[in-house]
Structure 1
């Protein structure tokens, strides 16, 4: 999601707002800077700090015995869904979040540029250490900000080696590669032919050499597609434009399929995912508004009528890519906007209104293939509202108590990773 919304149509804002919301790789000291779709590692780390981080990660990994690896097929819960978190680990370590929640999250979300630097590799190891103790599984979002051509065979090889190392520490990994590829704001956007080829190469390497890791395909919610005006939108006359013009009328509109041209195929994909947020009921964002009835379910199935107008032309993501393709469905990120500087509905009412939809009994009954839901636990400035948004549910005691009490018994949590040595 771009930091600069200039040139975007009003109807696209809900979709742009459903994008990546932050960086969650842990560092002892904050070494992050505001980035393209959230926060990214600063290039200004001192050489000494980088060396110290890499050494610490190496020592941590060396101290962990080689564990039995859980096969990727066994990462999908038989019933119910994994509960996870996208957490600002510079503000709150995973152990403290688990104490606040009263449970260890089954999934912790991390981000990295791809190719990643030595410092980012150290951060991945540090994230794995926290997850090993106070969670269970890593959802690793890889962002090829240098473009898809930078994802070479050597880069993929290094990734697989690192995945094997993390898996051997007892931490499964689901790789969310080049998310929101159907948007127009990332260097890998709207390049369906090359995207599918690179995704498949990454998937083939992961599947053949890292059995404890899996691949997730995660487009942006299609409301507002094709997101005209973005820096990386497909240009008329290009091969990508032709591939995206699914109805053959010479223009890209909501009538074109916003997902299918980007799907790499069932052999490459283990999970399908879509981030869904409540940014508000109408544009402009920043007002405190209650979620509309059934919004979460309607967005997931392409039936939402709200901020983008009538989205009924959208494909039913859940049923087509979950049920029909036989894939577990994930909500990699979700939360509800509360702007402390604005009036309107109360924080408790907004957030309760959203979590009651996301975690309600009707969700479990209607979507049995929904196997992962991750809450976005950040309090941060958002360019869409030109100010602070508090997405969290554990920082305020009354809201935390209400949220934890509302979590249903169909959710599964982490227990910390009990390392069973390999070969036993």
Structure 2
């Protein structure tokens, strides 16, 4: 979640206005051929005699495209201070997905870090949602970088972790080096997707733009230069300038063949900029944002396209709420932590959420406590650290939630 994003969202609004449960499919050795089969949609395995006489077992995780029913409930962790196992102990349930990030091209340090995350995810019976950030720009996503990614993904799958690859998130924003460059972004995304689909059957791709309220996010370091090629290509309403009436999503979509998942991160920062006051969320805000119907502070944002309908329903893609949480700034004015967070938890974990959004297949809570530049102080986004909020989260766990299964067979 970029530090500049919330401020630019507000600025744009003022200007014009978010396991496969290991899902292993194993070919067992003859000694294991009689092992029972279970429903793969719940993370089971299928076993068969390969006809060979050796003692070698092979195991291949399946492409993670969501559970047959319900939605995976996962978490984005501060890996410097937390682990999936600690989170599971606090919540009383194992996460179905864990979020990690790396640069692209991958560095040696990235590979080492994700190696650890993949193994810890596998121990929980969880999917790894891997965010890839081309911090050196989209030109650096060349064939060598893609080949290295493929090799790493194959290793992480072999460790028992299905991987969802979220390449270049918030590409419609102006705060990242890969932002607001639609043609280059789509080429790079397709190159990654082609390789993943051809050579990594245990991994999937995710396209995840930033929420379009406040688009085109004027003032960011990487905004499309007015009059430049990118700005002209993004000027969908043909008025001569990129502005709030232009589509914040469509120009960046790399095509149905390249995209397995669509996703978005949605945070409750408050109601009116500047942020920092502890404010309970308006009723229905989460779904309204995902469907382009949210109005904040008297500013009508209904011009935002219905992301869920256009990219989930119409295209038949599983939808992810990639990261979500509600702002609570300790010591600041406003409502109590329990009131702020419980208001958001009740929306994120609403019992009827999947009745309204049946394509929703993944929800990840943002379990971080960190300094946020937008408010000049720390924000506690967590849901399981403090007893009262943790109990609220536990009590709200819905029947549609699918959790990780650490007892499921792994590679």
Q: TM tier, shorter chain? A: 0.7 to 0.9
**SS of the residue 2:268 aligns to:** coil
Q: Distance in 1 between matches of 2:260 and 2:382?
A: 29
Q: Which deviations, in whole Å up to 9, do the C-alpha atoms of 1:251-309 show, x marking residues without a partner?
A: 11221111000000000000000000000011111100010111001000000000582
Shift of 1:5: 7.6
Aligned counterpart, 1:198: 188
Aligned length: 371
State the TM-score, normalizing by the size of structure 1. Answer: 0.84
Give unmatched runs, 5+ long, in structure 1.
19-64
Is 1:313 paired with 2:320? no
Is 1:71 paired with 2:62? yes
Change (3 A) 1:244 1:301: same
Q: Distance in 2 between matches of 1:109 and 1:321?
A: 22
Equivalences for residues 1-400 of structure 1 within 5 A: 3=3, 8=8, 10-12=10-12, 68-72=59-63, 75-307=65-297, 309-400=299-390
Measured on the aligned residues, the alpha-carbon RMSD in Å equals 2.0
Change (3 A) 1:13 1:337: farther
Does the 8 A contact of 1:339 with 1:389 survive in 2?
A: yes
Aligned counterpart, 2:48: none
Q: Which deviations, in whole Å up to 9, do the C-alpha atoms of 1:373-407 show, x marking residues without a partner?
A: 00000011111110011011111112111211211
Give unmatched runs, 5+ long, in structure 2.
19-55
Does the 8 A contact of 1:67 with 1:170 survive in 2?
A: no
Task: Select between 157-166 and 410-419 the one with higher mean Cα deviation.
Answer: 410-419
Aligned counterpart, 1:28: none
Q: Distance in 1 between matches of 2:319 and 2:298?
A: 23
Task: Select between 367-376 and 90-99 the one with higher mean Cα deviation.
Answer: 90-99
Shift of 1:416: 2.2
Change (3 A) 1:286 1:358: same
Q: Which has the larger radius of gyration?
A: 2
Does the 8 A contact of 2:9 with 2:213 survive in 1?
A: no
Change (3 A) 1:168 1:9: closer
**SS of the residue 1:273 aligns to:** strand
Does the 8 A contact of 1:11 with 1:308 survive in 2?
A: no
Q: Distance in 2 between matches of 1:290 and 1:268?
A: 38
Shift of 1:135: 4.1
Change (3 A) 1:308 1:315: farther
Change (3 A) 1:327 1:385: same
